Structure 1
Amino acid sequence: MTTSRWTPALLPSLSGKTFVVTGGNAGLGYWASEFLARRGASVIIAARNEQKASRAIASILTRAPLGSVRSVKLDVADLASVEAAARELSTGPVDGLILNAGLTESSKRAFTADGFEIMFGTNFLGHFALTARLMPTLLATAGSRVVSLGSISHEFFDLDLDDLQSEDYSSFRTYGRSKLSVMLFGFELDRRLRKAGHSTRSLVAHPGFALDGLGASRPGIGAKRSNAAARTALATFAQGKDAGALPIVRAAADPLAEGGDYWGPDGWRQLKGDPTVVPARSRSRDIRTAGALWSIAENLTGTSLTL
């Protein structure tokens, strides 16, 4: 169970608002979807596995029986799938786009359907393309938000613009750089939205050190809970993914959240705790690197994100 003092019950009603959550079938994405639905939001789970998405929807509706939850097939590691999903999603308003889906590790260098290194391609490029294709819909929805999923790992590595495909491969470094790319994009997107005079805002959130085994039980969704002894040991420096989803939910729906915010746990080294605005390393807000990365992403994905 979450031990956070802040709960989604403190949010105003989200009735009439629509949130798209990539990877909403499990983990952080599942919990964000459930919390939003319980506050009355319409939630669209964008996931590549339709069976898992159906199980997630059924689980959410047992706790939000009056909620509206549906799914859209999306594989962010396949730009054709991104284009098809965006075409379907663009038919209605999108108040919040939560860019959650991703990979945390790969034992060896692997590639997306389009030939990109799989963590960079999945965590960043696919979401960049999805945001670009949904931008007209987001801009047409007053006060809409884009929430990118950052990570503590951005603190450990600088971005090498000459090796974005990780030819010099290390799983953790590649993951950290992919998440730094996500954060550079999230903060740069907000700067450009403000400069263009739009009401859409971009925020970044991270879950701390969040583990499935420490969260509340949702049968059929993700991993099983750890045993009592393991939970006691891990809980000193980690939290469940239900608690880890709270910074994401606040960034997406809290009226107090502002564009350019970085939300995360308020505890030691941001590993666990109450969701609040936290500091990010300056490398994640570097304007020159963000601008160069933006241009590279447009060229690699064949999508133009103009505001």
Structure 2
Amino acid sequence: MRPGFTNDASVTERILATYDGLPNSERLIADYVLAHPNAIAKMSAKEIALSSGSSAASMSRFVKSLGFSGFAELSFALERDGTASTPVEDSESIFSRANLDEIIDFVLAVKMEELAATARYLKTSKLSEVVELIRNARLTIFAGVGNSISTAQNAAFKITQTGYRATACSTSDGSSLVALTLSEEDVLVLISTTGYSKRLVNVVENAHKVGASVVIITDKEDSELGRLADIVLKTSTHDRLLTRNLRFSQNPINFVIELITVLLYHSSTDAEELARIFDENMFFDKDLSKTGDSDATS
């Protein structure tokens, strides 16, 4: 079994987790399988290879890349996946039509499976250990690059609301500098779907220099950042089922962050009082009557 896969990991999950590291000949097969989830369950290895424009040798390597011993095991997994709650129609067919209702249902199904897959990984992860690290930390800093920076800042805000000190910088350079001010009592949480970022490697190295614990939330636990981290919380992002090259989803990472937030809230003696104070400040900020309902998340 390929490292990082649970025994019930779907074929789709395996493809998405390995895609970036596949050679072009195997990516052709991966693209075909992702685009035709129903058809391939009834096809032979040779038929899949020919239909994808690849070769039998590449098909054999592709099967091994997914962690299967052979095509028979892959076929069994495809048959099993066909009975699961996954999207039931090929994505190419869905997006070629102008039926918005069907597109909404398809995207919803993909997003639901994205979260369900992430939840399966979390159940076998060291999530409770991460919560304890943050509970006992003097400071937790969240760091990311690109659109993960705003996710890191949002995470720090949520954690602070539960009564624990957290922060996030607006640049990777800032994160590198702050990492050097940490101590053995502190925690660095990296947010990186791909697990590949030279800028974040520098942040991790600085955190290691001062003895801080390093956690990463990522799809790629066998990436460079995954190997550098002390604890990996694995996610499963399904962007490639919706867009070929656009990487946009933060849903799995936000799910992990919100799960940590809830766990911290229920283990904090100050969270309830802090939430009350926060509500009062929001009323003041919006000039709302204290007899009405608040909207603390807007």
The bucket for the TM-score relative to the shorter chain is 0.3 to 0.5
| TM-score, normalising length: structure 2 | 0.32
Higher helix share: 2
| TM-score, normalising length: structure 1 | 0.31
Higher RCO, 1 vs 2 (CA within 8 Å, ≥6 residues apart): 1
Higher strand share: 1
